[in-house]
Structure 1
Amino acid sequence: MTDEEFLAAFEACTLPPELWTHTAHVRAAFLLAREGTWVEALQAIRSRIQAYNAATNTPEAIDRGYHETITQAFMRLVYAANLRTGPHATFEAFCLQHPELLEKGALRTYYSRERLMTWEAKRDFFAPDLCPLPLVDIPRDL
């Protein structure tokens, strides 16, 4: 599936649930990150994951469903990586430069399990407790 086909299926909520893996989340983040500003990319990934989860009846549990802190943290990692080494023409090219982001445990460098796996961190963004996330271009007026 090409990047364009993947993004279209994700946005239309027709991507089969078995294909909505960690790698697919990173792919969606990368494709949205290269389309706009940090704020636009973050808003897009939030709304599209939430729409996809609703369309596929994804249950809400501490380890399933939408998680604000995980979403923001991974989007920040992907967005910053793309700024640092991009632009990348494809997700495959991005992955060659950043294979560490394909690891589900990539956030362990930044967050303890105790901080990340709470209902509060699921609902609202929590800053990391182990190491700061990379900076991205965030407008001062926000």
Structure 2
Amino acid sequence: MTTEYKPRLFERDADIRALGEGLLACTLPREAWTHEAHLGACLWLLTERPDIDVDAEIAPIIRRFNESVGGVNDDTQGYHDSITRAFVAAVRSFLSGTNETGLAARVNAMLLSDVGRRDWPLRFYSRDLLFSVAARRAFVEPDLAPFP
């Protein structure tokens, strides 16, 4: 957690909307599905798609996308339920405290905050638990601390 963190930021709201729509339609290029894209799409889903129950639908959405670009969702690769749900909690926590109003401004502020870091879940999970098959396949509660 001491390494320098330089996220790729977004210039326009439309870029984030295109990521989210591409995720849902399975038209997003595989190489565009970065850490920043994951978080941007999550924030977009939570704030601009009230018709989607993120808690119920995020796993099938990401699994379907992974498969559409030739990926595999198994015990070692693809969708990771505990990491995804940790970041959904992170995005919700960030949204509850931000004053930013524009989509790109909110996403960029989140990416530059602690919750935007790739290693954020390791504040709550031991490495062994987080990277276990059980945690990949289904949500497991954090073993170090509860989410904020």
After superposition, the Cα gap between the structure-2 partners of 1:133 and 1:75, relative to the gap in structure 1 and judged at 3 Å, is same
8 Å CA contact 2:16–2:104 kept in 1: the answer is yes
1:52-131 correspondence runs (5 A)? 52-60=65-73, 62-85=75-98, 88-97=101-110, 99=112, 100-131=114-145
Distance 1:59 1:97 in 2: 29
TM-score normalised by structure 2 residue count: 0.78
Distance 2:134 2:101 in 1: 35
Identify unmatched segments of 5+ residues in structure 1.
135-142
Of residues 94-103 and 17-26 in structure 1, the stretch that sits farther from structure 2 once superposed is 94-103
CA shift digits 1:33-53 (9 cap, x unpaired): 11339x922223222111101
8 Å CA contact 1:110–1:130 kept in 2: the answer is yes
CA shift digits 1:40-79 (9 cap, x unpaired): 2222322211110121121235552011111111111111
8 Å CA contact 1:82–1:88 kept in 2: the answer is no
After superposition, the Cα gap between the structure-2 partners of 1:42 and 1:88, relative to the gap in structure 1 and judged at 3 Å, is farther
Q: Match for 2:130: what amino acid?
A: L
Tell me if 1:41 matches 2:54.
yes
Over 3 Å off, 4+ runs: 60-63
Q: Match for 2:115: what amino acid?
A: L
Identify unmatched segments of 5+ residues in structure 2.
1-13
Report how many aligned residue pairs link the two structures. Answer: 133
8 Å CA contact 2:63–2:79 kept in 1: the answer is yes
TM-score normalised by structure 1 residue count: 0.81
After superposition, the Cα gap between the structure-2 partners of 1:44 and 1:61, relative to the gap in structure 1 and judged at 3 Å, is closer
Distance 1:29 1:58 in 2: 20
Quote the offset at 1:9 in angstroms: 1.3
Q: What RMSD over aligned residues (CA atoms) do the two structures have, in Å?
A: 2.2
8 Å CA contact 2:122–2:130 kept in 1: the answer is no
